[in-house]
A and B are shown apart, each in its own frame.
Chain A
Amino acid sequence: MRDVAVVGFAQRQMQDFDGSPTCAELLIPIFAECYEQTGWTKKDVGFWCSGSSDYLAGRSFSFVSAIDAIGVLPPVNESHVEMDAAWALYEAWIKIQTGEVDTALVFGFGKASAGVLRRTLALQLDPYTLTPLWPDTVSIAALQARLGIDAGLWDEAAMAEVVNRSLSDAEKNEYAVRAGGSSVEDLLARPMYADPLRKHDAAPVTDGAAALVLAAGDRAREVRERPAWITGLAHHTDGLHFGTRDLTRSESAARAVAAAGGVDGVDVAELHAPFSHQELILRAELGLDAGVRINPSGGPLAGNPMFTGGAIRIGEAARRIWDGTADKALGHATSGPALQQNLVCVMETTSEGTGN
């Protein structure tokens, strides 16, 4: 495999983006930041790949005009996934692995506030036997949370601890849309929203966009002293059917981390858990012990722009490698209801051991 590193990352998160659902105006300054970090121009980018959703925007082909933000004449080598941009990163990494290109810029965008997010996401369910009931995402997560509580796998206090740590860390994140830790006792005293979930157990509805820059070999070394070399990148999915899947687990997360080479030596993990109990599931499935720093950015409970939230986790993890606070970091992304689909990206200060 070729040595490929994350060498650039820029993001914006906000509660209500005052702009169009294509988010072109949001992407322009993000691309500019990526160029500033890398010293590149758009001509240095070999491949572009984005992630977004038509149903978030409420119209077909909503991604089509987002590429205007790149400036696409002359034409570019470009693709799009109807998934979180973390999977766009996967497609771009594959493209670099084929040898066709050496660099890529990956981006995602979404204006979740344009609709009623938890209702819109009911369209991800089985259209014959589930969507007609409009089970909202928060309800589905709550059913999952109670299964774990009833099985003694976690409790409300453990969930509140996740929230408290996340919102405390979010105080240092300028992009957080929700921040401010208190205490487990205080959090548990707040009212139920979707029993056993309180409002703080769910990620806030967030608008935003983000971009990540990938480069191979010397192209990466030219950009940064400590590129975040990708030493493991894999994703897996489970079925959606709630009857045939153990909702207290995320087998696809376990398979993804195994395929990415495991977590030995990981200092920092950024986990894309849109609900507090899902972080507990992920920590168990990924095999992250108490010594691993989880979500120093505040994580998705502080801000979770749809179709970008996963990519942001990878960017936040990469930043820890660049600034020397971690030697090995893990970024995780999820997609679909109740942790159905999961991606794991392991990054290190050196690319040794990747079989080059």
Chain B
Amino acid sequence: MSRTLSAPVTVAFDYTRSVGPVLGRFLTGLRDGHFIGARLSDGRVVVPPPEFDPVTHQATADFVDLPETGTVTSWTWVSEPVAGQPFDRPFAFALVTLDGATSPILHAVDVTSAAEVSTGMRVRARWAAERTGAITDVVFVPDALGVPTSEVEAAAQPARSLEQLTGIVTPVSLDYTYAASPEESAFFQGLSEGRILGQRCPACEKVYVPPRPACPVDGVPTVEEIELPDVGTVTTFCIVNVPFLGQKITPPYVSAYILLDGADIALQHLILEIPVEEVRMGLRVKAVWKPREEWGTTIENISHFAPTGEPDADFDTYKHHL
């Protein structure tokens, strides 16, 4: 059995990329349905165009229109595609040297078996009907397939945009399995039973909550389990007035460091059931738990902390926790 709690996490964002003049030219070409390469200072014709010449380091300025036909100079068979690739069934990635270019571009070739692709084979671009100015606007197909002439002619003389593309959106979405450390896992398991479990560092004897895989002072795991009360003192806090992505509570609300009685480090949580302007350092608070049927292995079992009504703690009792 795993000693850790784990859960899936997706890290996803649609990145807005400004592309600058060189890539902008190349991507605009793709949107228009044709390839634009660069002639470098050493005479090589390269596509996609490097933004800066590898020899002179000057910004690329000499652009070359390239045809949509070329030759496979290397290939591989993607037997198990990953998410986001041009096809969700097996296909070929290839290095394709376009006619007139001196070096290849990496792209996908639409074939249904490895037997249909080989080094030296002729390929032709197949443009997407709806193009945005992205490398995904095109794939290659075997030239022998015989793309209808009308389509070839249409692609051969594409309309040229007057306006150059300046930005693209590239979605990046990655799936991970996040695991908490064994010590933190014990803490989250405890929460699922309504208990707050800390652990004492065997070296400095400080009580950490949550427990830690490594005491940050001594570099050893915290070990001895200490069950802590759900009552403590607000050491310091801020009043959040600003909305942010993923926020679960409507501002204004108080985010506070709460030093549970018996712990040597403060936890962060919310303070509710008191006007925000009345929250203060030294305020005594108690956890308000969600209904038991909503509990999971998460700190969110505690809905928030609320004032106990006790007198405030003396500054001297918590000032070394600021």
Contact = CB atoms under 8 A, between A and B. Distances in A.
A78 interface: no
Interface extent on A, as a size class?
A: 35 or more
A265 interface: no
A243 B82 contact: no
A115 B221 contact: no
Nearest to A111: B179
B83 interface: yes
Interface string A240-281: 011110010000000000000000000000000000000000
B78 interface: yes
Interface stretch (B19-27, B233-241, B306-314): B19-27
B112 interface: no
Contacts of A239: 50, 54
B22 to A, nearest CB: 10
B95 A143 contact: yes
B86 A24 contact: no
A28 B220 contact: yes
B209 interface: no
Interface stretch (A125-133, A217-225, A298-306): A125-133
A172 interface: no
Contacts of B216: 67-68, 71-73
B27 A128 contact: yes
A192 B219 contact: no
B93 A244 contact: no
Given A115-B174, A197-B76, A69 B214 contact: yes
A42 B203 CA distance: 14
Contacts of B174: 55, 58, 115-116, 119-120, 123
Contacts of B94: 143
Given A115-B174, A244-B46, A71 B217 contact: yes
A239 B15 CA distance: 24
A19 B217 contact: no
Contacts of B40: 244
Given A20-B184, A244-B46, A192 B77 contact: yes
Interface of B: 2-4, 9, 11, 15, 17, 19, 23, 26-27, 40, 44, 46-48, 50, 54, 73-80, 82-86, 93-95, 101, 103-108, 114, 119, 134-136, 168, 170, 172, 174-184, 212-221
Given A68-B216, A119-B84, 10 more contacts: A19-B4, A21-B178, A118-B82, A129-B23, A133-B86, A133-B107, A133-B108, A135-B85, A193-B79, A195-B75
